[in-house]
Amino acid sequence: MALATAAMLAGVAMAGGHGGAKKMAATGPIAERQQAMKDIKSNFVPLVKMVKGAQPFDAATVKKNAEIIAAKLQASAKLFPEGSDTGDTRAKPEIWTMSEEFQAIMNTAIEKAKALANVSSPDQLAPAVMALGGEGCKACHEKFRKPKQK
């Protein structure tokens, strides 16, 4: 009984500690780049929907969203100061040990986002979206983003 209570209390205490750690990480470069990435995603999703036909093609939206993605990627590149791979983050230490490759993929992603912004007809959309998603988002996350941990 006493043991069970102790365990329960420890659990509560641990949960409290965890929440605290999360709150600490809510400012600074980690939280900022995560927010930038979230914005990138929310601008990317409508374009994917257009490719799938779940949303009508609209060149103005493509241009606007792709330009935001390019700008946010550019901004996020500065939000990876050395050593910011601890705490509530999925950034891998390879970002700094293989920084040239990280930067190269970032540049490719920015380039592909800019190319996407210039898409003016529906048949150009799929290859442009997939180039950004594959050679940008995937290429980087595959190498430089940690898998989730339970």
CB of 42 vs other proteins, minimal distance in Å: 11
Q: Of these, 50, 102, 117, 129, which contacts ligand HEC (CB under 6 A)?
A: 102
Residues 121 to 150 in contact with other proteins, rule: CB under 8 A: 129-130, 133-134, 137-138, 141-142, 145-150
135 exposure class (CB count in 10 Å sphere: 0-12, 13-18, 19+): middle
Residues 6 to 25 in contact with ligand HEC, rule: CB under 6 A: none
Per-residue binding string, other proteins, 72-101, x by CB under 8 A, is ------------------x-----------
Q: Is 89 near ligand HEC (CB under 6 A)?
A: yes
The contacts of residue 32 (CB under 8 Å, 6+ apart) are 79
Give the CA diameter of the chain.
Answer: 70
CB of 9 vs other proteins, minimal distance in Å: 27
78 exposure class (CB count in 10 Å sphere: 0-12, 13-18, 19+): exposed
Nearest-angstrom CA–CA distance, 48 and 69:
13
Nearest-angstrom CA–CA distance, 137 and 139:
6
- Strand locations in 4-140, DSSP E? none
Q: Which residues bind ligand HEC (CB under 6 A)?
A: 30, 33-34, 37-38, 40-41, 44, 69, 89-91, 102, 105-106, 109, 132, 136-137, 140-141, 144-145, 147-148
Q: Which residues bind other proteins (CB under 8 A)?
A: 41, 44-45, 48, 51-52, 90, 129-130, 133-134, 137-138, 141-142, 145-150
